[in-house]
Structure 1
Amino acid sequence: MTPLIAALAAYLLGSVPFAMISSKLFGLADPRSYGSGNPGATNVLRSGNKKAALLTLVGDAAKGWLAVFVARHLELGDGTVALVALAVFVGHLFPVFLKFKGGKGVATAAGVLLALDPLLGLATLATWLLVAYVSRYSSLAAILAAAGAPLYAMLMHGGNAQTFVVLLLALGLIAKHWGNIQRLLAGQESRIGSKKKG
């Protein structure tokens, strides 16, 4: 029962919508009502409030990190830690508190990776920062960082359970960015820092 309880707790933690919390704290509109409609840090940034976006980013990353950190601290075993890592990520993508319509999981995945392996997390984060800085597209940075993460994990750890979970996280991230991929190809994707529409 322990793995199931741990996974459920991680899912509920992942479901906490920091985009909604930070928007209410700063008196902003529901982030689902403007921009991409995504309850995540990048879309909150489109409101023009950098503090709210930063709080969203930190909160979403922290919940991913905390879930894995606690599972490891409790010595629940590698299999359960991997399950927890996946569950907290799924909670963010499909949160019970938002009728299963959540964010795209970039910050939460980053927190998970940093907790699983700080070097892996930093390598993935560095990929995101480099692509974002050069292109000014958050979505492109997320897609390429997600694609790179399983490769980094394979090089660092081989084909173990942790690498498999990282692959699942990457596939989930890329799938959630399918609309962004289409807009990128059409030249219609918003750049980082662009103001909200609607």
Structure 2
Amino acid sequence: MTTWVVFYILVAYFAGAISSAIPLCRILNKPDPRAEGSGNPGATNVLRVAGKVPALTVLLFDVLKGAIPTYLAYLHGLHDWTLGLVAISACIGHMYPIYYRFEGGKAVATALGAMLPIGWPLAISLLATWLLVFRLSRYSSLAALTTLIFAPFYTYLYKPEFTVAVSMLSVLIIVKHKSNIVRLLKGIEKPV
């Protein structure tokens, strides 16, 4: 593994570990998203505890912290599975942030951001899948899981050379959703 791969993996982790949800809720005098709602410092829970504008702000920030390190690594010449490592590192930073005692979110938006540099057709397919499933079910977790299941197939259609990287990323995020999967199967998952 080259020095640049390690560099971008570290940059991605530390970027991913930066939370916008926690300080934004604090600034707005809203409940700490780790202590209210689902206890997850991500956009969906911020929507529950703070409203639409803070949730959109968190969503944008989380997407960018996945997109920027991955895109910079791509521009530097990293490809295929090494880009997958960078993307995974950004998501691990979001899930297990060093700045917040390793207690983070599910990294769905960060994963989406990491996939965006692959191209607009993939981004549109992912967003359309998420929106369709969410519209039909009202479950953010189900929409995320469905989108992550389809992500490697979409990638294979548009840019097959990134299928392994996207598959690695999808598996990571799906595993992080194991409690949501259990609640969905039991019929006790909370809709948004």
The answer to whether TM tops 0.5 is yes
**1:135 counterpart residue number:** 137
For 1:81-120, list aligned pairs within 5 A.
81-120=83-122
Q: Any stretches of 5+ residues in structure 1 without a counterpart? A: 193-198
Matched, 1:165 2:165: yes
TM-score normalized by the length of structure 2:
0.92
- The letter for the 1-side match of 2:171 is L
- Distance in 2, Cα, partners of 1:171 & 1:21: 29
- 1:118: Cα distance to partner? 2.2
Q: Choose from 39, 42, 45 the match for 1:40.
A: 42
Describe the superposition over 1:112-138 as per-residue Cα deviations: whole angstroms up to 9, x where unpaired: 111222211221111000000111000
The SS at the match of 2:77 is coil
The SS at the match of 2:134 is helix
Residues 44 and 52 in structure 1, CA contact (< 8 A), matched pair in contact too? yes
Residues 65 and 108 in structure 1, CA contact (< 8 A), matched pair in contact too? yes
- Distance in 2, Cα, partners of 1:25 & 1:163: 40
Q: Any stretches of 5+ residues in structure 2 without a counterpart? A: none
- Distance in 2, Cα, partners of 1:77 & 1:181: 34
TM-score normalized by the length of structure 1:
0.89
Residues 106 and 142 in structure 1, CA contact (< 8 A), matched pair in contact too? yes
**1:121 counterpart residue number:** 123
- Distance in 1, Cα, partners of 2:78 & 2:52: 39
Q: Cα RMSD between the aligned structures?
A: 1.4
Describe the superposition over 1:38-65 as per-residue Cα deviations: whole angstroms up to 9, x where unpaired: 1101011111421111111111011111
- Distance in 1, Cα, partners of 2:157 & 2:22: 37
4+ long deviations beyond 4 Å:
none
- Distance in 2, Cα, partners of 1:119 & 1:23: 34
For 1:1-198, list aligned pairs within 5 A.
1-73=3-75, 75-79=76-80, 80-158=82-160, 160=161, 162-192=162-192
Residues 31 and 50 in structure 2, CA contact (< 8 A), matched pair in contact too? no
- Distance in 1, Cα, partners of 2:118 & 2:85: 12
- 1:81: Cα distance to partner? 3.2
- The letter for the 2-side match of 1:78 is H
Instruction: Please identify, of 18-27 and 4-13, the stretch whose mean Cα deviation from structure 2 is larger.
Output: 18-27
The SS at the match of 2:49 is coil
